[in-house]
């Protein structure tokens, strides 16, 4: 009888421990090893965490320079948002991203819910390049001024687009670039980039970037 009571008490204790463990949510952060094409926006949807919290947690990582193999901290469950609101926000952002409104009379262009004043529109032929040494004249992953290459860097003919000019790039297609439009700065040059040509830096392998090919795009020279 004593053994039976002892076994019963042990079983109850174990069951209580299991229920207690299941009732305690896991709040530990996790690490995501980035793959090419990842962005904070796609990761926020994948893990169901608030995008602003994700960016703040990884404040040392530029949102414009996420590349394959980069380790990104995913905040724990306490920062997760409900599935329904995440879906609603994602749909709202998609609708906003899909629209690019241009007012040629006032020289205003709207993209991603933001309004940009521009001085002129320029149609150019675009290519893309990676940080591979073979595409950077052996100088390594730096621009014309020695700054690290990052998403938002473009190579230009400075006679057509002066260095330091900010532009809104539109009409492109590539998984390594923000959809529809993004702001870039003329910080690089290349021997083959002459006239109405630009070369867009995309983080990732040479093979991944080469799929960009040649594309006809439109630039809005921002004021």
Whole-number pLDDT of residue 93: 32
Calculate ∠ Cα 201-202-206, nearest 5°.
100
136-143 contact pairs (CB < 8 A, 24+): 143/187, 143/188, 143/201
CB 153 within 8 A of CB 198: no
Residue 16 three-state SS: helix
pLDDT of residue 49: 86
| HSE toward the beta carbon, residue 104, CA cutoff 13 A | 2
CA 82, distance to chain mean position in Å, is: 23
- The reply to whether the predicted model has a pTM over 0.75 is no
pLDDT at residue 77, as a whole number: 56
pLDDT tens-digit profile of 159-204? 999 999 999 999 999 999 988 899 999 999 998 999 999 999 999 9
Regarding beta strands 114-129 and 108-111, do their DSSP bridges make them parallel or antiparallel, or are they unpaired? antiparallel
The tens-digit pLDDT sequence of the chain (223 residues) is: 444 445 445 555 444 444 443 433 334 678 888 887 788 878 888 888 888 888 888 888 877 678 778 889 888 755 444 433 433 333 333 223 335 788 888 899 988 778 899 999 999 999 999 998 888 877 778 999 999 999 999 999 999 999 999 999 999 999 999 888 999 999 999 989 999 999 999 999 999 999 999 999 999 999 9
Residue 50's Cβ-count burial label (10 Å; 0-12, 13-18, 19+) is: middle
- Note the pLDDT of residue 92: 33
89 touches 96 (CB < 8 A): no
pLDDT of residue 6: 53
- At residue 2, the pLDDT reads 45
């Amino acid at each position: 009888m004593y053994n039976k009571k002892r076994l019963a008490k042990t079983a109850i204790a174990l069951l209580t421990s299991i229920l207690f463990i299941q009732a305690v949510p896991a709040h530990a952060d996790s690490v995501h090893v980035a793959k090419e094409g990842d962005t904070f926006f796609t990761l926020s949807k994948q893990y169901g965490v608030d995008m602003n919290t994700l960016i703040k947690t990884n404040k040392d990582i530029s949102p414009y320079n996420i590349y394959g193999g980069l380790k990104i901290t995913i905040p724990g469950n306490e920062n997760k948002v409900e599935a329904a609101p995440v879906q609603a926000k994602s749909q709202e952002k998609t609708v906003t991203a899909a629209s690019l409104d241009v007012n040629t009379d006032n020289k205003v262009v709207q993209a991603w819910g933001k309004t940009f004043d521009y001085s002129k529109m320029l149609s150019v032929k675009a290519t893309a390049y990676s940080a591979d040494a073979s595409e950077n004249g052996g100088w390594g992953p730096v621009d014309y001024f020695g700054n690290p290459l990052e998403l938002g860097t473009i190579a230009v003919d400075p006679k057509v687009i002066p260095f330091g000019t900010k532009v809104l790039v539109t009409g492109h297609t590539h998984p390594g670039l923000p959809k529809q439009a993004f702001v870039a700065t003329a910080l690089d040059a290349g021997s083959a980039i002459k006239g109405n040509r630009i070369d867009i830096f995309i983080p990732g392998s040479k093979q991944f970037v080469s799929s960009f090919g040649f594309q006809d795009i439109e630039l809005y020279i921002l004021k």
